[in-house]
Amino acid sequence: MAGLFLKVFLVGVSSLGCLYPFMDFCFRGETRGQKPNFVIILADDMGWGDLGANWAETKDTANLDKLAAEGMRFVDFHAAASTCSPSRASLLTGRLGLRNGVTHNFAVTSVGGLPLNETTLAEVLQRAGYITGMIGKWHLGHHGSFHPNFRGFDYYFGIPYSHDMGCTDTPGYNYPPCPACPRRHQPSRNLERDCYSDVALPLYENLNIVEQPVNLSGLARKYAEKATQFIQQARASGRPFLLYVGLAHMHVPLSRPQRSAGPWDRRPYAAGLREMDRLVGQIKDKVDRTAKNNTFLWFTGDNGPWAQKCELAGSVGPFLGSWQSRQGGSPAKQTTWEGGHRVPALAYWPGRVPTNVTSTALLSVLDIFPTVVALAGASLPGDRHFDGLDASEVLFGGAPAGHRVLFHPNSGAAGEDGALETVRLERYKAFYVTGGAKACDGSVGPEQHHEPPLIFNLDDDAAEAAPLERGSAEYQRVLPKVREALRGVLRDIADDHISRADYTRDPSVTPCCNPQRTACRCQAV
C-alpha cells in the first residue's frame, strides 16, 4: 500500500512537469522568497558535560565549539523525554507523549509508530512550500504509513530505529560487546545481553533498503555526504528546505574507525565525539557556502547519557542526581533527574542569532516545532494544544526567560511511561516519583512515590543532592505553585485532542531485504 501511494505521488508530480531533479523526487521550480531554511541536528545519548563545563573549548569538539562561539548556547535546555522515541515524537509534534501517544520506544517488530493523526513539523513545512529531508535515526515507526516518507519528508536516508537494534559485520564498541551478524545459521536473539543476531541492521534510502547489514564504520561519512547533497540540491530547486539529521552519535555501539590503532581504540567515546563533531562541521560548512545568511541551524540532544554503558557513556557535567545515586541506580538517561534530560543545545543563524552568547532561558526540544513554524510563516494545527513555545524572543531579542514551567515525563526508570510526575517550576524541581535506571554496576534504583513531593532548588543544588526541608518556609511557598501547575497541565491534556500509539508487535514487519538469507543479508547498492 505504501509503495502504491509513493507511485501515485511520483506520477502526480511528473505530470506537472519537473524542472529540477532532486534525489528520487522531482520538484517544480519556485521563486525563492524570504523564507528561511532550517537544519535541525539531534545528537543521541549525548551528555550535557560532553562539551565541557559552560561550553568551554575542548579538544574533541572543535566544530561545535566554533558553532557555540558564532551563535547562542543554552545551558538550561531540556529534552522532551529522556528516551528515544518519545523525545523524537515531541520534537516533531511540539507535544508531550500524553498528547501525541508516544510514551516509550518502538521496536524492530513494531506495527505502528507516531500516530497518523499527529501532524509533524515536516508536514507543516511541506504545506508551506518547503523541501523536506530526514537523515539518520527515525525511531517513530517504519512499517507502512509510519515511514518518514509518509510523515512529511520528501527524502529519507538512514536507519529506522536505534543502531543497536540489529547486528552488523562491524559491531563497534558496546558494553557488553555484541557479536557480528551470523553468515551460515540463524540463531535466536540473545535476550540476556540484548544483542540482535536474527536480523541485520538495515540502511534505507526512501522506501528501499540499500544495505543490510549497514557498515557502521562508514555511516558518518555517508550521512555527511547525503546531508550536503540534500542542501545543494534543495538550494538548486529555488525552494526553502528543512533538513532534520538524527545522528547515531553518541549512542552505542560506538563505531570503530576505518583506520586502526592509536588513541582511537583506547578512548572510543572521545573518538566518537570527534567523528560526530566532524560530521556537524561538514554540514555547517555546506550551509555557510550555500545559504549562510538564510539558514537557521539548531543543535541539541534527545536525552542524557546511557550510564549503564560505563566508559562508553557521556558526562552529565555537574548534574549528578546525587540523591538518586545514594538510593542506587543511574540518574541519567530514562530518568527525570537533570542528567537524564538536560542536554547541550545551540542556535546558529548569522545576522539573526547573536554571536558568542550564553542563554540561561529555560527551554526545551518542545520549542523547536512552534519556533520553526513561526519563522517559516506557517500556522500551527488549530485542533490541538502544544507544550512548546515560540523561542524567537530568546533567540533574537535576548529575552532572559523561556518557560516558567516544564513537565518531565516518566521515561522508563520509574512510574507509568509518559506520566507527568516531575515538575520544573522556575529554579525549583519537584519529584512525585523517583527511581534510577540501570547503572554501570548493574544496580537499579527503587521506584519511590513522594506525597508531598521532593523539591530541589537547582540554583543552589545543581547536583540534586538535598531536597528542601518540607517544614521550611521556602518549601511551603513553592509547594502550592507546583501543585497548581500540575493540576493545570493535566486539565489541559484532558480537554485536548489526544492520540494513541499502536505498540503492537509482529515479527513479519521486521525490515528485511532478503528473508531467504541469514539475518536478512543483502548486497549494498
Amino acid at 457: N
The grid coordinates of residue 167 equal: 547486528
Number of residues written out for the chain: 525
Residue 12's contacts (CB-CB under 8 Å, 6 or more residues apart) are: none
Omega prior to 268 cis, within 30 of 0 = no
Please tell me which residue in 18, 78, 104, 139 is annotated as part of the active site.
139
DSSP letter at 144? G
DSSP H helical ranges for 25-169: 62-70, 84-93, 97-100, 121-127
Whole-angstrom Cα distance, residue 79 to residue 365? 5
Torsion angle in degrees (nearest 10) through CA of 65, 71, 76, 80: -100
Establish whether 178 is a catalytic residue.
no
Say whether 128 sits in a helix, a strand or coil.
coil
Whole-angstrom Cα distance, residue 457 to residue 466? 9
The grid coordinates of residue 117 equal: 493523526
Say whether 167 sits in a helix, a strand or coil.
strand
- Show the CA angle centred on residue 75, arms to residues 411 and 375, nearest 5°: 85
Could you tell me which of 274, 255, 302 has the C-alpha nearest to residue 82? 302
CB 395 within 8 A of CB 72: yes
Strands 405-409 and 420-425, sheet pairing: antiparallel
Whole-angstrom Cα distance, residue 67 to residue 69? 5
Say whether 15 sits in a helix, a strand or coil.
helix
Whole-angstrom Cα distance, residue 211 to residue 205? 9
Please tell me which residue in 84, 178, 181, 520 is annotated as part of the active site.
84
Residue 487's contacts (CB-CB under 8 Å, 6 or more residues apart) are: none
Strands 77-78 and 363-364, sheet pairing: parallel
The grid coordinates of residue 209 equal: 533498503
Burial class (CB in 10 A: 0-12, 13-18, 19+), 205: middle
Establish whether 512 is a catalytic residue.
no
φ/ψ (deg, to 5) at 98: -65, -20
Name the CA radius of gyration of the chain, rounded: 22
Which residues belong to the active site?
Answer: 84, 139
